[in-house]
Amino acid sequence: MPVTSNRKHFWYFLLSLGGVMGIGFFIAFLYAAPAMPLNEEHTTSLNTDTCVSCHLVGDEATPAMPHRPFPGCRICHGE
């Protein structure tokens, strides 16, 4: 079955629409992470293990981390 020009343009349009949506979801995912409050613990320790040791347990002062630990916190949660 030969591919017509209209069908080819439809698939190009669908591919570009999916690409735009994929980029939009990626950006929305990065903005969904809450920013870290500027307190002494967050400004002095840049070690991820220090962050994970507090946030794996979670209490009233330190919320539990709702995801797996990543190599760094600041890439999503900002500075």
Q: What is the pLDDT along the chain (79 residues), one digit of tens a residue?
A: 566 888 899 999 999 999 999 999 998 988 887 777 777 777 666 677 777 777 777 777 777 777 877 777 777 777 6
- CA 73-76-68 angle, to 5 degrees, is 60
- Give CA–CA dist 69/48, Å, rounded: 8
- What is the domain partition of the chain in residue ranges? 1-32, 36-79
Q: What pTM was estimated for this model as a whole?
A: 0.53
